[in-house]
Amino acid sequence: MEGKGCYNRENFRKEGVILPILEEIAVTLPRADLDLDETLDCGQCFRWERQEDGSYTGIVRGRFCRVERQGDRVLFHGVDEDDFQRVWRPYFDLDRDYGSLKAQFSCDPILAEAARFAPGIRILRQEPWEALCSFILSQNNNIKRIKGLVARLCAHFGDPVEGGFSFPTPERLAPLSPEDLAPVRCGFRAGYVLDAARRVASGQIDLDAVAAMDIDDAREVLQQIHGVGPKVAECALLYGFGRMECCPMDVWMKKCISTLFPCGLPPCSQGVEGIAQQYLFHYSRCHPVLFR
């Protein structure tokens, strides 16, 4: 991987404001190992906005970025070297070789087919709190609406940053009441979000400690939160803590497993079941007829 700073001046228009973009980082990465649509719009994250030119804008750890594919290169606009190393490189899981991972998955014909269908999927390493909170909001909900909930949560309670709003901290949410969250329109999930915020803000649940825990202990701790069950905990651990062995079992994956993998996921996915899951989840949703 090459990460090289240059200074192409350009302007990027967003919501009527012209933001001066002074820096960009270019990384060489084959299209087959990162597709922006497949990765940023496959239900693992809810904050990225697709632009008309196919690039995406998003905010991670309070930093705004526009990501663009250009041939074999990925351009991170508005990013300096420090932020690239600190934020975007881990976020896009750039140090993992997805090519060899997919080669490994080819030991199973169905998994191979799913990976071939959307080879540009990667698992993002999101902020732990944001992932936890987002997937609490995701329950009994559809992806389109989840995005709306998260956007309103950020707009009302996040801090204004370049390009939009940061994701609100647990400390910001903890003192609120469910009525305070009314403008978010997240329904019965308001109480769940607040319980999570209070436990994290108070230190009763230490997300840094969770990150270092044995996986079953981590699952147990997260499920102490009201409104966090097996699925949400698994999503938080996979997408927020980089625990690739975690395999969220939503309705689609349950159908997929029962019809195609009655004996469980194949051995070649051992230890990275969560990544295999993302290919299978996407494949299942795009071929609903195969899964009744």
- Among 31, 73, 145, 172, the residue binding DNA under the rule CB under 7 A is 145
Q: In the range 165-194, which residues lie near DNA by CB under 7 A?
A: 182, 185-188
Q: In the range 22-41, which residues lie near DNA by CB under 7 A?
A: none
Q: Is 43 in the site for DNA (CB under 7 A)?
A: yes
- Shortest Å distance, C-beta 149 to DNA: 9
Inter-axis angle of helices 273-286 and 251-260, nearest 10: 90
- Shortest Å distance, C-beta 282 to DNA: 8
Q: Is 20 in the site for DNA (CB under 7 A)?
A: no
Q: Is 226 in the site for DNA (CB under 7 A)?
A: yes
Give how far Cα 93 sits from Cα of 29, 34, 85, 179, 240, Å. 12, 10, 11, 38, 12
Size of residue set near DNA by CB under 7 A = 38
Q: Is 278 in the site for DNA (CB under 7 A)?
A: yes
Residue 65 or 146: the one with the smaller Cβ distance to DNA is: 146
Q: Is 140 in the site for DNA (CB under 7 A)?
A: yes
Q: In the range 77-136, which residues lie near DNA by CB under 7 A?
A: 135
- Among 207, 232, 257, 275, the residue binding DNA under the rule CB under 7 A is 232
Q: Is 287 in the site for DNA (CB under 7 A)?
A: no
Q: Is 229 in the site for DNA (CB under 7 A)?
A: yes
Q: Is 290 in the site for DNA (CB under 7 A)?
A: no
Q: Is 257 in the site for DNA (CB under 7 A)?
A: no
- Among 48, 252, 279, 283, the residue binding DNA under the rule CB under 7 A is 252
Name the residue type at position 16: G
- Shortest Å distance, C-beta 277 to DNA: 6
DSSP string, the chain: ---EEE---EEEEETTEEEEE--EEEEE--GGG--HHHHHTSSS-S--EE-TTS-EEEEETTEEEEEEEETTEEEEET--HHHIIIIIHHHTTTTS-HHHHHHHHTTSHHHHHHHHHSTT-------HHHHHHHHHHTTT--HHHHHHHHHHHHHHHSPEETTEEPPPPHHHHTT--TTTTGGG--TTHHHHHHHHHHHHHTTSS-HHHHHHS-HHHHHHHHTTSTT--HHHHHHIIIIIH--TT-----HHHHHHHHHH-TT-S-GGGTT-HHHHHHHHHHHHHH-GGGG-
- Shortest Å distance, C-beta 171 to DNA: 23
Residue 63 or 219: the one with the smaller Cβ distance to DNA is: 219
Q: Which residues bind DNA (CB under 7 A)?
A: 42-44, 135, 138-146, 148, 182, 185-188, 223, 226-233, 235, 248-253, 277-278, 281
